[in-house]
Structure formats: structure tokens, C-alpha cells
Chain A
């Protein structure tokens, strides 16, 4: 894609004590990309998300968003710019009904400014806006799902709730940390159109996934991480064909085990 990149990650490194979680990772994400990140467990994918969104401080390197440096800004400031994330370990407010979970992001300065998802610059009643967002993202209003306590919701809905929390900010970029993991085939199949719709509406997505087959259906670029380093970056086809990738995945000669 042409034009300046939306997100530039330049040579970032991060060590936890003796563990080098990231070493010199660079890549660019363009507007409206669905940018996949794959790699074995412990290869630094979550740390990458944490570094971009300000949840961990990077040791060196630089992150630019819309041409502006955001490295090591506090997380709320980065979110305020429209860079949102989901958590691999889901963090709903369990004691609240699902729609009340969205009151918190809708209370943020960014949501007040933008009006939230579909807000058009003016934030309406937070309860109503929250329920509308949930309905769009697959909480059936007729069966009262938005009103159920988050602690009673199955994983599939909690994953959607994570996405809804991002959408409430009317984000530019969403970093999804394994939103498909723990979901059944059919649940993933029902979420893929949602992902594509978000892309069509102008949202850029970075998706960390283990489910390569599903990821490769929607992603237009893929980055492969291994031992905190960038192994390769390219189109899904290029990545699949690369022998290094096959090796990283348990040294398996046949990536079709995963695809």
C-alpha cells in the first residue's frame, strides 16, 4: 500500500531481566491493513503489543503513530490517540452487566470528543451508545445478552466485549491479542465478517493469532516472530512458502498442520 505508514515500529528492543523479549523489531503498518502477527509461544508477540500501547517501557527503538512518536507515552495517552488494544488475558469488569462495561471507555476524553463508535462527534447517552455497540458486535439485544453480568458470559462474548471496549473509543488502530483463541470454529467463522467490516469502515487492525488458516483469510500482511526477533514479513502466501517459518513452527516440515 502507498502513502506514509500509519504505524512505524523502528528497531524496538525490550528485556525482562535476562530474557530478551524483543530484539530490534521493525515493521510498518498502513492504514486499513489487517496486519497479522504469528509466532510460537513466548516469541514476544504480547510484549510487542504492550510496547506499542505503552503498557511496558521499551529499552530502545521508536514507535511512531501517524508520524508522531508515541514510544513510552503512558497507555491512556496512546489510547487517546486512537491506538487501542485487547488483552490476551481478558479483563472485563466482571461485576458489571456487559453494557455497563462500556461506560468506562465511553467516559474517556476520546469518546467524549469523537462520540464513540458511530458517534459523529457527539456522545449520546452512554447506556444507549454502549448497547448499540454491543448489538453491532454480536450481542443479541432481543435475548437480553447485553444486560447479562460479564461474569456469566461465555468466552465468545467476552472476546467480543474486548473488541467493543476498543470500538467505544472510535479507534484508528486496534491491536488484537489472540481474540480467536479459545473460540470454536463456528465462533471464529462468525467473527471473521465482523473483522472485515471493521476494516471496510476504515479501522486498521493488528491481529496476533495462532489460528493461521483463519488469519490468512483476512490478513493482507503477516509478520512472523521467533525468539523476540522478526523472522520474516510478507504477504500470507510468501510467509506460508518460507522454509524458515516452517522450521520455527516446531521444525515441522509441513505448515499445513497449522493451516
Chain B
């Protein structure tokens, strides 16, 4: 197509009259242009349970939802607060075990056990992480990596919460529609809630703690308060995922503390585009089904997984979402010279 007398011309869309994120919107067409991607995402997620008919893949939808929550939790804490936690599985395990205990010991239905495990688990995780908050950078990451490993060994050694057997007989959801639609709605609420949060004044303080904590301290703000609050938000989201997980599998065990729950959300964030919040959700949507397909390869799965991840980092390190956003705001066309 590109002959000697044509060249590729790139135009920014007219609407991009904006000053640092504030769009100058005039007219229905431009509003449509802005909300279209949002509608596609919402409609796409809501349609998923309807269009997927295979029972195996229906279960995968729920797993995608859980990993999307975990990836959101990671993206928020990493890219908006600057705390890189490698211990996501700890949050999942705490939320999972708590929901299982509330359900099997107190007889609370998922309607109550999930919200309670979300908030209660968030509080517990925050208290557990509190001593690490003064740690900077990689030290915080390494210590948080230890949390799920430690929790696993403690449960095994003390033989609490069913030990290696786990807690069985956790109630499931009434049917798959409740399971999937409640999860999708919760995910969308978390996504749009976080997107709103990071642009509020409180969100700016979070981001400032990440960019420049010295100036935040000099502004008379106790950064430990805000780090604590952010860890609570992030941990609660992951506990929510963990609570869903145990009610879906009707079982809580030490595998809810498995490394997968720490690593796959990070991979989803990298692929989807860190710092975009939507990206990690898309990343989970892509990565989790791939991971299921790769099950056929047994232990080689992780090799393929690693290769896919490396390819992404090498060829599209910004992540899908950052790339897509840029392309969406530009036209490219061939013009005669």
C-alpha cells in the first residue's frame, strides 16, 4: 500500500483539546467517543456469562473475575501508592480462610461472609503489614513475599484451620448466575470506584506518597496514615477475591496462599498496562484463559507462561492499555503526497 508517493499521517482526534486530563467536551459525539470504551467493557463483561456455554469455561469466568480483583489490588498499591507487595496470596488466603470460617463455624451465608471477610480480612492484613510500612522499595517487596509462605507453614505446623486438609463444606452460591454476575458487578464497582478515588484529593495524596514522600512529610502529612489506608483498600479487594474463591470451590486450604495468587496478578498488570487500573482487568481477561489452555502442558505450563510474559515485556513493555489508549486517541491514514 505504501508506494513512493504516499505516506502515513497521524492525526490526534479533535477532542484532544485538553489540559492534563481535563477534556473540553462539546457535543454528543465527543461524549460518545469518551464513554464508548467504558460501555464496551461493561457490556462485554456482562455478556460473558451469557455467551459462554461450556461449564468448564464458565468456571473460568469466575476465576478471571477473582484474578482481575487481585490485579486491581496490586496495580493500585504499586502504581498509585508506590508499595510493591509481592505477597498478594497472603491477602487471598486471609480473605478465603475468614470467609470459610464465618460460613462453616457461624453459619453465615455468602451474602454476609463475603463482605465481612472483605472488611475483616482487610483489617487483619493491614495490621499484619503495619510493621513493614517504614520499609522502602525492594525491602517492602521481599518481606511481603514472605507473608503467604509463613502463613502456610504456620497452618501446617500448628494444624489449625483444618491443617493440610483445609476447611471443607463451605457453602456455594445458589447458582452460577448469582456467582458470576455478583462477581462481575463487584469487579466493575471496584474498578470504577478506584478510578474515581485516584483522581480525588485523597488519591493525589496517595500518588504524592509514591512520587515524592519527602515533600508529603514536609507538607505536614503523616505518610504512614495514608500508606495504612491504601494497604487496607488493596488488601480488602484481594480478600474479597479470596472470599469468592472459597465459596466457588467450597473449600479453603493452604493452596489459597499459593504463589500463583501473588504472581499472576502482577503478570496481568504488566501485560494490561500498570497504572491504568483497566489494564490489569484486561490482563486477567487474557492471561487466565491462556493459563487454563496451557494446563494441557502440565508442568511446562509455567515455561510457556514465562515466555509469553517475557515477550510482552520486550515488545510492548507499556502494556496493552497504554498502547490502546494512545491509538484510540489517534487516527492513522495514508495520504497522497
| In the complex, chain A residues whose CB is within 8 Å of the CB of B19 | 97, 144, 147
Tell whether, in the assembled complex, residue A75 and residue B201 are in contact, meaning their CB atoms are under 8 Å apart: no
With A100-B204, A107-B202, A149-B20 as contacts: A94 and B211 at CB distance below 8 Å? yes
Interface mask (B5-21 → A, CB under 8 Å = 1, otherwise 0): 00000000000000110
Residues from chain B with a CB closer than 8 A to the CB of A100 are: 204
Contact B20 A104, beta carbon cutoff 8 Å: no
Q: What residues on B are CB-neighbors of A95 within 8 Å? A: 207, 211
Interface residue B216 (Cβ < 8 Å from any Cβ of A): yes
Count of interface residues, chain B, beta-carbon cutoff 8 Å: 20
State whether the Cβ of B101 lies closer than 8 Å to any Cβ in chain A: no
B220 near A79 (CB under 8 angstroms)? yes
Once the chains bind, are B201 and A165 in contact (CB under 8 Å)? no
In the complex the two chains form, is B219's CB within 8 Å of A105's CB?
yes
Interface of chain B: mostly helix, strand, loop or mixed: helix
Give chain A nearest CB distance to B196 CB in angstroms.
16
- A104 B217 Cβ-Cβ under 8 A: no
Per-residue B-contact encoding for A172-206, CB less than 8 Å = 1, 0 else = 00000000000000000000000000000000000
Given known A-B contacts A91-B212, A97-B20, A84 and B218 have beta carbons under 8 A apart: yes
Tell me if B167 is interfacial: C-beta within 8 Å of chain A: no
B221 within 8 A of A: yes
Name A53's contact: one of B202, B207, B218, B221 (CB within 8 Å).
B218
Q: Is B205 an interface residue (CB 8 A)?
A: yes
Residue of B nearest to A165 (CB): B219
Instruction: Find residues 61-101 in chain A having any chain B CB closer than 8 Å to their own CB.
Output: 74-77, 79-80, 84-85, 87, 91-97, 100
B221 near A108 with CB under 8 A, answer yes
Interface residues of B in 216-232 (CB under 8 A from A): 216-223
How big is chain A's contact interface, by range? 35 or more
Cα distance A93–B222 in the bound complex, in angstroms: 17
Cβ-defined contact, B220 with A165, below 8 A: no
Q: Is the Cβ of B220 less than 8 Å from the Cβ of A103?
A: no
**Does A22 have its Cβ within 8 Å of any Cβ on chain B?**
no
> In the complex, are the beta carbons of A111 and B220 less than 8 A apart?
yes
Question: A74 and B217 in contact (CB under 8 A), knowing A95-B211, A149-B20?
Answer: yes
From A75, A111, A147, A168, give the contact of B217 (CB < 8 A). A75
Q: At the interface, yes or no: B127 with Cβ under 8 Å from chain A?
A: no
B208 within 8 Å of A by Cβ? yes
Q: Smallest Cβ distance from B197 to chain A, in angstroms?
A: 14
Q: Which residues of B contact A96 (CB under 8 A)?
A: 20, 204, 207
Asked if B215 CB lies within 8 Å of chain A CBs, one says yes
Complexed CA–CA distance, A104 and B217 (Å): 10
Q: Kindly list chain B residues whose C-beta atoms are within 8 Å of the C-beta of A76.
A: 217, 219-223
Bound-complex Cα distance A110 to B42 (A): 42
**Contact: B215 with A169, CB < 8 Å?**
no
CA distance A113 to B220 in the complex (A): 12
Contacts of B219 in A (CB 8 A): 76, 79, 104-105, 107-108, 165, 168-169
> Distance in Å from the Cβ of A256 to the closest Cβ of chain B?
36
Q: Which residues of chain B come closer than 8 Å to A94, judged between CB atoms?
A: 211
Instruction: Find out whether the CB atom of A104 lies under 8 angstroms from the CB atom of B214.
Output: no
Query: Which of A75, A85, A93 is close to B212, meaning CB atoms less than 8 Å apart?
Result: A93
Q: A103-B201, A104-B215, A126-B201 are in contact. Are A93 and B208 (CB under 8 A)?
A: yes
Q: Which of A93, A107, A126 contacts B221 (CB 8 A)?
A: A107
**Measured between C-beta atoms, what is the minimum distance from B20 to chain A in Å?**
5
Q: What 4 pairs between A and B have smallest CB-CB spacing?
A: A79-B220, A105-B219, A108-B220, A75-B217
9 sample A-B contacts, Cβ–Cβ < 8 Å, listed by A number: A75-B217, A75-B218, A79-B219, A84-B220, A87-B218, A108-B220, A111-B220, A147-B20, A149-B20
Other contacts beyond A103-B205, A104-B221, A105-B220: 11, CB < 8 A: A55-B217, A74-B217, A74-B222, A79-B217, A85-B218, A91-B212, A96-B204, A104-B216, A106-B201, A149-B20, A168-B219
